[in-house]
Amino acid sequence: MLHALKDMILPRQTTFSKILVDDEKCNGCGRCMETCPIQLLMLNSDNKCRSNDRYDAFRCITCQNCTAVCSAEAIQISGAYRVHTGFWKNDDLFGNPMAYPDPLGTGALTDVEKTADKLTETEKVIYNRRSIRLYKKKQVPKELINRIIEAGRFAPSAGNNQPWKFIVIQNRELIDEINARCKKALRVHTRLTLPKAWLDKKIPGDKDARFSWWQKLILPLLVKLRPGDTDQRVRGGVNTVTSDPEYHIFFHAPTLILQLADRRAIGGVDYDSGICLQNMVLAAHSLGLGTCYIGLIDGLKLHPKFRQEVLGVEEPFEIVMALCVGYPSGKIDKVVRREHPRVIWFDESKE
C-alpha cells in the first residue's frame, strides 16, 4: 500500500529518454538549450551540449525539438518515457521503439521531401510540423493572421454551432503582462506538487529533495482527481516555467492568438476547439510560419478581473487555449519519430 502511494506521488520505476550528443558535430550554437521545454541542457566548458542534471526526476519528455533545431545534426534521442509499475504504468501500452512516419506502408520516412511525388501537400505539413519555440522578432502581417483564422473558421463543429472566438494580440507589452500573470498563478501548482527544494532554478538540482508531510497526504487525491495536471512530466514542465524568471511562456513570439469558446456549445467545447486550432496550425505552417500551443494560459483563470477588463473575455466565453504565431528562427520544422499507433482493427466480414 505504501509503495503504491509513493508511485502515485512520483513513480519510482521510470525510464526516461537519453539525449546523445556527438561532440565532433556539436558547434555550441545553444539552440537546443533554448528550445528544450524542460530546460535540461547546457553548454559545458568546451562549448558542447550536455545534460545539466537539473532534476533527479522529470527528465527528457522525448519531444525531440532539440534534434529538430540542431543544424549540425549532433543530437539523437534514445529510448522513450516508460513507467514500469503502479498508477502511471505505461510500458505495456506502446510498441518499441518509436518510429518515423510510414504512410505508404513501404518503410519509414526520415525525409518527407524525398517522397514529394507521393505525398499530398497536407501530409507533408502534418509530418514536418514542429512546435516552434524559437521566433524572429519580425511581426506577422494581419493578412496572414486572417488566413489562419479563416482556416479555423471552416473547421467542423458539433451541430455546426462554431463556438469559437479569437483575441489576436500583437502588443508586446500586453503579451509580457499575460506571461507574468500566468507564471505567478502557476506557482500555486508547483507549491502543491513539488518538493520545496525544486521550486527555484538550481543546476544541478537537489537529488535528495523530499515531499512534505502534507503533500504526501494530498497528492494521491490530486493524482486521482486530475491526473493530467499531476503527471510528473507536467510538474517538471510547469516548474521550468515558474522557477526561471527569464523563461517566457510564449517564447517572445510576436503574435499571440487566444482561442475562446462558448461554454454552452453543443456537445462541449473541447473537441470542436481542438479541431479548429489544428486547422489553424496546419494553415500557419503551410504559410511558412511557426506555432506552439500554450495550455499554460490556464494561469489566467486566477485573474478574472484582468480577463474581463483588459482582454474583454465575458460570459458565456472562456479562454480555451493560446497559440503562439511567428516566423521561425532558423529551420525547425522536421520529421521526427513517434510512438506506434494503437489500433483495434475489425476486417470486413468473410461471409
Which long-range contacts does 330-334 make (Cβ < 8 Å, 24+ apart)? 330/31, 330/69, 330/71, 330/134, 331/71, 332/35, 332/65, 332/68, 332/69, 332/130, 332/132, 332/134, 332/290, 333/68, 333/128, 333/129, 333/130, 333/132, 333/285, 333/290, 334/67, 334/68, 334/128, 334/130
The pLDDT assigned to 201 comes to 82
Q: Rounded CA gap, 130 and 275, in Å?
A: 17
User: CA 146 to CA 152: how far, in whole Å?
Assistant: 10
Please name which of 321, 313, 311, 314 lies closest in space to residue 271, comparing C-alpha atoms: 321
Q: Which CATH class is domain 17-80?
A: alpha beta
pLDDT at 95: 78
Percentage of residues of the chain with pLDDT beyond 90 = 68
Q: State yes or no: pLDDT of 126 exceeds 80.
A: yes
Q: How confident is the model at residue 112 (pLDDT cuts 50, 70, 90)?
A: confident
Query: Quick one: average pLDDT of 269-282?
Result: 96
Q: Give bridge partners of residue 82 from the DSSP assignment.
A: 15
Separation CA 46–CA 331 (nearest Å) = 25
Q: What is the pLDDT of residues 296-311, one digit of tens each?
A: 999 999 999 999 999 9
- Specify the pLDDT at position 305: 96
Rounded to an integer, the average pLDDT of 111-139 is: 90
What is the predicted pLDDT for the residue at 12?
Answer: 82
The confidence band for 207, taking pLDDT boundaries of 50, 70 and 90, is confident
More confident residue, 195 or 54: 195
Mean local confidence (pLDDT), 228-233: 92
Q: Does the reported pTM lie above 0.75?
A: yes
pLDDT value for 3: 74
Q: Do domains 17-80 and 131-336 have the same CATH topology?
A: no
pLDDT at position 350 is 63
pLDDT greater than 90 at residue 6:
no
pLDDT of residue 316: 94
> With 70 as the cut, is the pLDDT of residue 215 above it?
yes
pLDDT of residue 351: 59
pLDDT per position as a tens digit, 20-66: 999 999 999 999 999 999 888 989 888 999 888 877 667 888 999 99
Q: Which cell numbers hold the place of 297?
A: 494560459
Average confidence (pLDDT) over 270-274: 94
Q: How far apart are CA 314 and CA 125, in angstroms?
A: 35
What are the sequence ranges of the domains in the chain? 17-80, 131-336
Taking residues 214-240, what's their average pLDDT?
93
Domain 131-336 bears CATH identifier 3.40.109.10: yes
Q: What are phi and psi of 68, to 5 degrees?
A: -70, -35
Model pLDDT, residue 273: 96
